Structure 1
Amino acid sequence: MRVIILITVILFSLNSNAQKIDCSLQTKEYQEFLKVKNYSDAFSPWEFVKDKCPSQSKEIYTDGIKIIQYKIDNTATPEEKEKLVRDLLSLYNKYNKNFPEITQDYEVYKGLALLENNIDAKDEIFQYFDNGFSKALDKVTSANAIFNYFKLLIEKNQNGDKSVSSDKIIEKYSLLSNQINNLFTKNPEERESYIAARKGVNSLANEFLNCDNLTSYYEKKMPQNQENEVWLQASLNTLSDKCSATPIFLAMAERYYALKVSSQSSSYLAIASLKNRKFDEAKKHYIESAELESDLTEKATKYYTLATGLFSGDKAKAKEFLLKSLEFNPKLGKAYLFLAQLYSSSASDCGKTPFEKKAVHYLAQQTVKKAAIADERLKSNVDIFIKNSSKESLSPKDISDAKMNGKSMTIGCWINEEIIFPSK
């Protein structure tokens, strides 16, 4: 008996190893065909690998998707096309079965396969999208899927489907809109697609997103979601554009901040504080938001917004934030433009003599020129600024008459900058 068992094990092992060798050879063969985009001849060896060694690697499935899609694109009849699309759906199922950890959003891709291949199956597409987005929203990266899922939700609501209420539309809008915002950072190379998706989703949702509807919805949902950071973030994002002055926005902003101090939670609390005329709190949290921001471009934008908004009346502080914005984004030319305007508006306050007053305008002109260097799109703005301030600024003759060629002077006041005049 032991001999029989041993022989069985040996035979099984030999068969398994032979199969693995065959799979390796077939994999090499179909991948050689793929290198020259010969999808037709790649199909047979690829299918062998897919059937005999389904867990060998994820490339079996990513390659298979390309191969089957080629066959779909080149099929002769609608019937054959749909059969191939169904084969593609089966491949996604098998992909998920063998690699579940990296295919959590596979149902979204099944919906896209039907949609993008023009298969008339709206209810089926919706079901795949609804399942996929519910299970793995944070994994979804397709702008097309986001827009079309929301479009189908709106259609179902308008057709009287009671399972898609106005409250569900608001809930899904909030989550999808928040995911689009997250994708701007995760996949910046797809930014234009996400912008288009956001515009489409916003347009479809417009009639549902008035403050009365939103306030009513979030007041009902807030008690059961007070510990849910994802829900709070998405909800605040939805409310921030139109309804940031509402009590529910303030309540959610305070709760989100209490759960998680971050650039985003600080920003929401700053907006809520500003709308409720708590200016000191707003300043504090806007600064905190800028300091905690990890994306350098966004960090620069936040400092620029501080300088031109809440701190525009405090010129010294505004300058500090403008310089910070340029530190994190040297191409933010509009920061130089605003700084030049601040200088120019302070000539009378910071210059004691006529020469010093003109020197402040001269400094403003030297500063504004940096705006066009940083961002050439601002050249026309820079030219206008220089033209309008030329009479008030120092001319070469003024510098020469004052015997300041090659010398320097310091403008005090809040400006606190040294000017070095040309030698000639």
Structure 2
Amino acid sequence: MKALFFTLTLMAFSLSHSQKYDCASKTREYQEFLKTQDFNGSYQTWLEVSKKCPKESEIIYTDGLSILQYKIDNAANPEDKEKLVRNLLSLYEQFYKNFPKSVPDYEVKKAMALYNNHIEAESEILSLLESGFSKAGSEVKDANAIFTYFRLCHEKYKAGDAQYNANATLDRYALVNALLTNLQSFASANSNDYKTAQRAIDAMSKDLATCDNLEAYFEKNYSANIDSVAWLTSALTNMTNKCGAKPVFFKMAERVYSLQVSSQSAYFMAIATLKQKKFEESIKFYNQAAELETDNVKKAEIYYSLGTGLLANDLTKSKEALNKALLADPNMGRVYLFLAQQYANNANKCGKTAFEKKAIYTLAAQTVRKAVAIEPKLKATVDKMAAEFDAKGVTSTDIAKEKMKGKTLTLGCLINETITFPAK
């Protein structure tokens, strides 16, 4: 009897095991359809996989988003379309439940699925955006989502909604503006989208986000956030362009620098001291910001700002900063544009003879042409500047007359460069 029971149990286990759903095989099955863009052919098998294998792979969800979006775009009528959009929202929920680190901003994505597919659900969209930005705002990378969130909030403000009074709407403005500024700083492929969104938000909120309002807003909220590096950094980011000269900006810059010495806090101190005309201090903070910066593109930008700004009237120090910018980012062609113009500006001052003055213009032409080799988009500017410098530079007749064919000439003064003339 025991032997019979054991045999029946073993058979039942074997049967159950043989009937187990093969997630990997079924995934490959529907993906064969996707290879030929046959979304309809893939749908039923994908649907099975999504229900029976929810934890198998993130691919099931990323594939599903594409499949459902195709079906939404090709829905027969508005009712079918909305039903499919709701299925898409459920898929985002399931995606977040099983792979939360992959879609921390799933509520924002749900909101934009409704918005982009033109589902009339504005209150639901705004509610999802409010929750999504509150929980995972720093994870949002979609410029349109950021703009849409602020636009809907601003419309509520303009309509007199008490929940979206001036102070509350400035909360949202501070959030989205800081977010867009940070996203741009990474020089991503979407940088232009972030700039466009930021310009649109600034234009929309010009009557609300004035320098005076921002000053009052951050002054009012300063005490409650005095120990928050994140809040102070966001506040300073929002005020840098419009209100860098305000006392509250300097107060916040000093505070965040005292809490955390970093490239960013040093940069805020550089701006603050610059606005106060404390130029030597500002130079010190710019240099510190650049030295502490680990991102080479950002490091180069800081050195470029210093070399073309505070140090622009001191060619020796300006060149030092600009060379550091090039060392950090060898693709920064505009450095050569600035250097070339500086050489030309100092031709009369540094050229001891008429020939040396012309040679400096030739050096400027040679320098500016270096820019186009690393940044082709600068070609039009380079060509124009080079032509102007060449017109004032040495000619073959000048070189022959001075017996400088094939020879080099060291140009001292502030320039400290050597130029070699052609042998023929």
The alpha-carbon deviation at position 105 of structure 1 amounts to 1.2
Contact 1:68 1:88 (C-alpha < 8 Å) held by counterparts:
yes
Letter in 2 for 1:379: V
How much does 1:353 deviate? 4.0
User: Residue by residue, what CA displacement relative to the aligned partner does 1:60-105 show, whole Å, maximum 9, x if unpaired?
Assistant: 2222222222222221121121122112212222222222232221
Equivalent residue number for residue 215 of structure 2: 215
Aligned CA-pair RMSD = 2.8
1:270 lines up with 2:288 in the alignment:
no
1:261-290 superposed Cα distances (whole Å, 9 cap, x missing partner)? 232222211111011111111111112223
Residue 83 to residue 386, structure 1, CA distance change in 2 (3 Å): same
Q: Is 1:235 equivalent to 2:238 in the alignment?
A: no
What is aligned with 1:89? 89
**Residue identity opposite 2:421 in structure 1:** F
Q: Quick one: distance in 2 between partners of 1:245 and 1:201?
A: 22
Alpha-carbon offset, residue 11 of structure 1: 9.0
Q: How many residues align?
A: 420
Deviations 1:166-222 (A, max 9, x none): 112111111112212222355712223222222222222221111221111111111
**Are the structure 2 counterparts of residues 34 and 6 from structure 1 closer, same or farther at C-alpha, using a change threshold of 3 Å?**
farther
**In the TM superposition, what are the counterparts of 1:62-73 in structure 2 within 5 Å?**
62-73=62-73
Structure 1-normalised TM-score? Answer: 0.90
- Look up the match of 2:388: 385
Q: Which whole-Å deviations, capped at 9, do the CAs of 1:381-423 have from their partners, x for residues lacking one? A: 3145325x62xx4333332222222222322223222222222
Q: How far apart are the structure 2 equivalents of 1:52 and 1:368? A: 63
Paired with 2:178 and 2:167, the residues of 1 have a C-alpha distance of 17
How has the CA–CA distance of structure 1 residues 123 and 416 changed in structure 2, closer, same or farther, with 3 Å as cutoff? same
Q: Which residue of 1 aligns with 2:260?
A: 260
Counterpart for residue 308 of structure 1: 308
Give the match for residue 160 of structure 2: 160
In structure 2, list runs of 5 or more residues that go unmatched. none
CA distance in 2, matches of 1:196, 1:11: 66
CA shift, 1:129, in A, is 0.6
CA shift at 1:348, angstroms?
Answer: 4.1
SS at 2:243 equivalent: coil
The answer as to whether partners of 1:72 and 1:84 remain within 8 angstroms in 2 is: yes
How far did residue 7 of structure 1 move?
10
- Give distance in 2, aligned partners of 1:367 and 1:75: 59
Aligned-residue sequence identity (percent) comes to 44
Change in Cα spacing, 1:359 to 1:28, as seen in structure 2 (3 Å) is closer
Q: Aligned residue for 2:116?
A: 116
Q: Which amino acid aligns with 1:360?
A: I
Query: Which amino acid in structure 2 is aligned with residue 173 of structure 1?
Result: Y
Q: What does residue 193 of structure 1 align with?
A: 193
Q: 1:335 to 1:248 in 2, by over 3 A?
A: same
Q: Deviations over 1:144-181 (max 9, x none)?
A: 11111111101111222211121121111111122122
Q: Which moved more, 1:249-258 or 1:99-108?
A: 99-108
The match for 2:39 is 39
Asked whether 1:394 is paired with 2:397, we answer no
Aligned to 1:105: 105
Any unmatched runs of 5+ in structure 1? none
Q: Deviations over 1:281-320 (max 9, x none)?
A: 1111112223333343343333222222101221211122
Provide Cα deviations, 1:225-270, integer angstroms capped at 9, x if missing partner: 1222222121111111111111110111112222232322222111
Distance 1:32 1:245, change over 3 A: same
Q: Greater CA deviation, 123-132 or 35-44?
A: 35-44
Do 1:334 and 1:378's aligned partners in 2 also have CA atoms closer than 8 Å? no
3-state secondary structure, aligned to 1:403: coil
Partner of 2:169: 169
Amino acid at match of 1:338: F
Q: TM-score, normalised by structure 2?
A: 0.90
Using the alignment, how far apart are the partners of 2:341 and 2:132 within structure 1?
52
Q: 1:299 to 1:122 in 2, by over 3 A?
A: same
In the other structure, the counterpart of 1:284 is: 284
Q: Which range moved further: 235-244 or 360-369? A: 360-369
The answer for the alignment partner of 1:178 in structure 2 is 178
Quote how far apart the aligned CAs of 1:124 are.
0.4
Q: Deviations over 1:95-139 (max 9, x none)?
A: 222222322211111111111111111000000010011000111
Structure 2 CA distance for partners of 1:19 and 1:188, relative to 1, 3 Å: farther
- Is this contact kept in 2: 1:299–1:325, CA < 8 A? yes
Q: How big is the shift at 1:330? A: 4.1
